[in-house]
């Protein structure tokens, strides 16, 4: 495990490499965070160039742990991306959106009168272990060199091959129908939006993600992260 920095200052060797745990706020893209940190380092250390990257994208509407690597440590980003991840979030039953989250408006409504807490909890096990899921069209995955979300915004839908992912733990923490709160521990490459979407279909309804927070990546925890205010 690479030891993360706990305080940002000009004395750190950013070129040799630093690992920074950031609490990404809602509304920021992962690249927004990278740009802000890169700008800070260049300004405070009087550098013309510095490599900065993140180890695992968080959607703009999601918050929580984002790992930033600088300098020579950017070579280890792919290694960090493979680590297990933990999330807590909330889904809304009885409706769906094209993006599977709040980025787009509800476009389909489904019945929920047949749903009760027992049905919700009994269907969690269907999503444990090695499963296949299709990434959402509203994602940064490239198809023929074009980001899928750019095609989705033009109402172009493509057939996306399902990917094998692993759900280590899926736990319902609170139920106030139509809202359901949950915790998930999963492998790299898992789309929580898709998990929520597929869960809604499994209980003969619809569902979309209303909030998401990443709390852990491997042994790195959100509780040890720095806020963007530390950089601003």
CATH number of the domain within which 204 lies: 3.30.2350.10
pTM above 0.85, yes or no: yes
- The H-assigned helical ranges of the chain are 30-45, 77-81, 117-122, 148-152, 192-202
Encode pLDDT of 165-217 as tens digits. Answer: 999 999 999 999 999 999 999 999 999 999 999 999 999 999 999 999 999 99
- Looking at the fold, whether 145 and 223 belong to one and the same domain comes out as no
The number of beta carbons lying within 10 Å of the beta carbon of residue 41 is 24
Encode pLDDT of 2-38 as tens digits. Answer: 899 888 777 789 999 999 999 999 999 999 999 999 9
Number of folded domains that form the chain: 2
- Looking at the fold, whether 73 and 98 belong to one and the same domain comes out as no
Q: Which one of 13, 32, 59, 161 is the catalytic residue?
A: 59
Give the C-alpha separation, 221 to 47, whole Å.
30
59 is catalytic: yes
Give the C-alpha separation, 232 to 229, whole Å.
5
């Amino acid at each position: 495990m690479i030891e993360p920095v706990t305080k940002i200052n000009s004395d750190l060797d950013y070129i040799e490499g630093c690992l920074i745990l950031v609490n990404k706020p809602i509304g920021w893209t992962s690249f927004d965070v990278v740009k802000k940190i890169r700008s800070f380092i260049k300004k405070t250390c009087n550098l013309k160039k510095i490599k900065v990257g993140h180890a695992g994208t968080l959607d703009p509407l999601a918050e929580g742990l984002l790992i930033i690597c600088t300098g020579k440590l950017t070579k280890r980003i792919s290694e960090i991306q493979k680590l297990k991840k933990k999330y807590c979030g909330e889904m809304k039953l009885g409706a769906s959106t094209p993006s599977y989250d709040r980025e787009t408006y509800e476009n389909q409504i489904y019945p929920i009168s047949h749903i009760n807490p027992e049905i919700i909890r009994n269907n969690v096990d269907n999503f444990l272990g090695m499963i296949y899921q299709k990434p959402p069209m509203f994602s940064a995955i490239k198809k023929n060199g074009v980001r899928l979300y750019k095609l989705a915004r033009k109402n172009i839908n493509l057939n996306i091959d399902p990917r094998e992912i692993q759900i280590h733990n899926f736990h319902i923490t609170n139920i106030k129908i139509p809202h359901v709160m949950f915790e998930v521990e999963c492998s790299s490459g898992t789309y929580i939006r898709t998990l929520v979407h597929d869960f809604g279909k499994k209980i003969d309804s619809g569902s979309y993600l209303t909030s998401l927070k990443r709390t852990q990546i491997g042994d790195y925890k959100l509780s040890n992260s720095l806020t963007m205010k530390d950089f601003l």
